[in-house]
Each structure stands twice: as C-alpha cells, then as structure tokens.
Amino acid sequence: MSVVSLIPNNALAVSQEDLAARVREMADRIEAGQFGDLERVIFVLDSAGTTDYRVYGRQCCNATLVGLLEYTKLTVMQPDE
C-alpha cells in the first residue's frame, strides 16, 4: 500500500478547450440517461488561488450538499469498499 494514491486522470495538464469538451461530453451522457434519473450535479471548480462550486438540478440545503461531498470524499479515499 502506498502512502499517496494518485487519482486516475486521463487528461493531465488539459487545455481549457479540452476541459470544456469533456464537460460537454458528460452533459451528453446525462442527457442520454447513462446515469439514470439524476437529481443534481455538483461541480467543484479548482483554479489558481481559488476553489468554488456550482450545484445544478434539484435544490438542496447546505447539509445535504455537504453530505454528498463527504460521501464522495469517502469513495475517493476508499475506492475498493
């Protein structure tokens, strides 16, 4: 077991255009129903010096949003469980 686990990414150092194209591709997959009946999508935006987020879809309270992000954090930290 390594101390540091790198998150797989097939587009390291991606350009802004490539990143936008990947987001559009994800939107196409959502529209095609590949993820089932989604209630919301959450983007975490990480740029030089700042981090932000956007939530699209069904409204939710801060507690629900934090719960979803915490669950996601757990699946990133323990992918095999």
Tokens of 28: 């196409």
pLDDT in tens, 16-41: 888 888 899 999 999 999 999 999 99
- pLDDT (tens digit per residue) in 60-69: 999 999 999 9
**In this structure, which amino acid lies at residue 68?**
L
Mean pLDDT score, 6-15: 64
* Element spanning 25, H or E: helix 16-31
pLDDT score of 6 more than 80: no
Torsion of CA 65, 68, 69, 70, to 10 degrees: 120
The tokens for 53 are 């987020």
Q: Is 73 helix (H, G, I), strand (E, B) or coil?
A: helix
CB atoms within 10 A of CB 71: 10
